Amino acid sequence: MKKRDGWSLVACIVILIVLVFLAPQYGARVRAWLGPLAAPQAISSILVAENEELKAELAQLARVAAQLPSSSPAYLPAMVYSRYPFNFKNEFLVDAGANEGVAEGKAVVFQGILVGVVLKTFPDSSLIQTVFDGNFKIPVRVGAAGDDGLLTGGASPKVASVAKSATVHAGDIVYAAAEGLPYGLPVAVVQGTSTSADNLFEEAALTFAYDENSIQVVAIAR
């Protein structure tokens, strides 16, 4: 390599080090430019999402309306910056952080549906763990009967540890019943049920009203 080329390369390396540590948001812009354009959310999927929200409200009213708080929690809108690029987790970064009042463990919703929780906060951004992450686990209730279960994340999230005596059917709404999250937030709809491998519990496969890769704006519970 010629001496002049060498100095140019060192200058490029210094600029990149500065960008990596002091201005990582520009990396997200390059990434957005390299990645595919996000398709706008289809009207049908918006309607399905609204339908799920209404179903969840009905399920709550049938059993626990009296226990619901009288005022709904305030939400902070946030744009999705970047997504986890590998195969091992399902996380994304949003443009609201501790400076905006975001706290770890808070619910993150998309069109009224729980999509994840705040995993880590930074001054101006937050890392969100989605329900499609293998480590995501929260207690949930299913349908109008409010049967208890454990939502376990992953590529195909499911509700596990449902009592065999429970009356869970396809089409039942699954809603959050976890400490720290607003009670009754809809999560998904039951697609079908099966018996667990150890034959002790029922499990429910889930269907989701949204394509997680098309999410661009979320709301974070304050």
Q: Does 93 contact another protein by CB under 8 A?
A: yes
Residue 197 binds another protein, judged by CB under 8 A: no
Residue number with CB closer to another protein (94 or 177): 94
Which 3-22 positions form the footprint of another protein (CB under 8 A)?
Answer: 5-6, 8-10, 12-13, 16-17, 19-20
Tell me which of 43, 67, 69, 155 binds another protein, using CB under 8 A.
155
Buried b / exposed e over 176-200, threshold 16 CB at 10 Å, is bbbeebbebbbbbbbeebeeeeeee
CB-CB neighbours of 162 under 10 Å? 23
Task: Single out the residue of 111, 125, 129, 130 in contact with another protein (rule: CB under 8 A).
Answer: 125
Under the criterion CB under 8 A, does residue 135 sit at the interface with another protein? yes
Q: Round to whole Å and give the CA distance between 155 and 133.
A: 7
> Should residue 156 be labelled a site residue for another protein when binding is judged by CB under 8 A?
no
| 73 vs 154 by CB, closer to another protein | 154
Interface pick for another protein out of 72, 87, 165, 199 (rule CB under 8 A): 87
Which residue number, 156 or 195, has a Cβ lying nearer to another protein? 156
Residue 136 or 175 with smaller CB distance to another protein: 136
Is residue 183 a contact point for another protein (CB under 8 A)? no
Contact string (CB under 8 A) for another protein, positions 95-114, x = contact? --------------------
C-beta of 133 vs 172, nearer to another protein = 133
Count of residues that bind another protein according to CB under 8 A? 43
Tokens of 11: 């200058």
Q: Which residues are at the interface with another protein (CB under 8 A)?
A: 1, 5-6, 8-10, 12-13, 16-17, 19-20, 24-28, 30-31, 34-36, 38, 81-89, 91-93, 120, 122, 125, 127, 134-135, 155, 213
